[in-house]
Chains A and B, each alone.
Chain A
Amino acid sequence: MEYILLFLGAAVVNNFVLTRFLGLCIFFGVSKNFNASVSMGMAVISVMTMSSMIAWVISNGILVPLQLTFLNTIVFVIVIATFVQLLEMFIKKFVPTLYGVWGIYLLLVATNCIVLAVPLINADKHYDFFTSTVNALGSSSGFALALILMSSLREKLQYAKVPKTLEGLGVSFVLAGLLALSFQGFGGMIPLE
């Protein structure tokens, strides 16, 4: 039960994009296209979950015993970037069809704030391994949800008449504001610890 609450809390109530403003570059960059959003969402879920596991092991196996936690940021960035690079090579070699769909998104994910944020939050809250993984899974699912919702909305937007000065990014922000407003309805149901 506790894990279900954590998952829902991270995915819906404290949605990464709409209430915590992380990963906005990808959110606005990729959401122009529905299919791209679905692939990106999948890429984020897998990379985030795996990299948060690896980051947990490194953080609690090396940094905490040696009292080097002030190096968290540097170490996590390097670990995640390296991991994504390896994952990309692996997929390219063994699952080329998947690479065709995912390839470019993987590298975009590597230097994105959401992927770095989750290990940092986990380390900050001293979550155990399983809790960290659930948190990463929930946060990334929430990101994928917001991304897919937004891209569906933006596809409809193509038929709308938008004032010239707001075309493109401007109106997307207004749209995101309205989406955030609806997510605000979940606010406080499961508090952010």
Chain B
Amino acid sequence: MKDSLWSIFSKGILDENPIFRLALSLCPALAVTTSTLNALGMGLSVMFVITMNNLVVSLTRKVVNPTVRVPVYIMSIATIVTVVELVLEAFFPVVFQALGIYIALVVVFAIILARAEVFASKNGVVRSVLDGLGMGTGFLFAMLLIGVIREIFGSGTILGFPVFGAWYNPPLIIILAPGGFLLIGLLIGFFNIVAKAKKAKGANA
């Protein structure tokens, strides 16, 4: 029996969240989440790349010889990423500057290759696009969560607007590397609790 379309979309958001549950693509989760805007830019870019790549892989799945599939996937991802890179550079230079090298490194994100291999190469176009959108949403959600927390407590602002009064003296450590690691560690713990609670609820029902 096949999963319903809704469950294909929604599983990426909580149950198989790329960052908190699968622990894939951790580098951007730390590197560009120092502010909400950067997290949003990165999240949307990855969402686009993963959806488009799932679409391409799904369309070509009957043509591509299985022995060369991984190089083909990598080529497809690299092309889409280059497109994203050029578009960002042309229309959103501020975001492009902030994301820097990490936008090019989307090419080697494990999550994108993993979805192509595990899902899009075996499923039809509609289901693959939904899977990409779901995983992308999960990624975006995780990025935004980390970005918002780090910006509020690390700089005392949200999207550049101050949220606390002048009395708030933001601890720089949250913006720096160690704060990122600590925060993600605690969030992973939190999502473990959520998953457990959800499972217990499912068992009772």
Contacts and interface: CB of A to CB of B under 8 A. Distances in A.
A158 interface: no
A94 B33 CA distance: 45
Interface stretch (A32-40, A52-60, A173-181): A173-181
Contacts of B105: 22, 113, 116-117, 120
Contacts of A178: 178
B190 to A, nearest CB: 8
B30 A21 contact: yes
Interface stretch (B44-52, B70-78, B130-138): B70-78
A97 interface: no
Interface string A44-87: 00000000000000000000000000111110011001000000
Nearest to A80: B108
B113 A111 contact: yes
A81 B107 contact: no
B31 A21 contact: yes
Interface residues on B, range: 35 or more
A184 B86 contact: no
Contact of B177 (A120, A163, A165, A184): A184
B118 interface: no
- Interface on chain A toward B: helix, strand, loop, or mixed SS? helix
A78 B74 contact: yes
B104 A173 contact: no
Contacts of B75: 74, 78
Interface residues of A, number: 42
A149 interface: no
A118 B55 CA distance: 30
B182 interface: yes
Contacts of B28: 21
Contact of A28 (B23, B86, B179, B196): B23
Contacts of A78: 71, 74-75, 78
Contacts of B5: none
Contacts of B178: 177-178, 180-181, 184
A190 interface: no
- Interface on chain B toward A: helix, strand, loop, or mixed SS? helix
Most buried by A among B113, B185, B186, B192: B185
A17 B187 CA distance: 20
B113 A166 contact: no
A152 interface: no
A173 B178 CA distance: 9
A18 B181 CA distance: 9
B185 A172 contact: yes
Nearest to A166: B189
Nearest to A115: B108
Interface in A8-34: 18-25, 28
Interface string B1-38: 00000000000000000000001111110110000000
Given A170-B186, A177-B181, A77 B74 contact: yes
A134 interface: no
Nearest 9 pairs of A and B residues by beta carbon = A173-B185, A177-B181, A177-B182, A174-B185, A181-B178, A21-B31, A74-B78, A24-B26, A21-B30
18 contacts: A19-B177, A22-B31, A23-B27, A70-B82, A70-B86, A73-B78, A73-B85, A74-B78, A77-B107, A81-B74, A111-B74, A111-B108, A124-B101, A165-B189, A165-B192, A177-B177, A177-B178, A180-B181
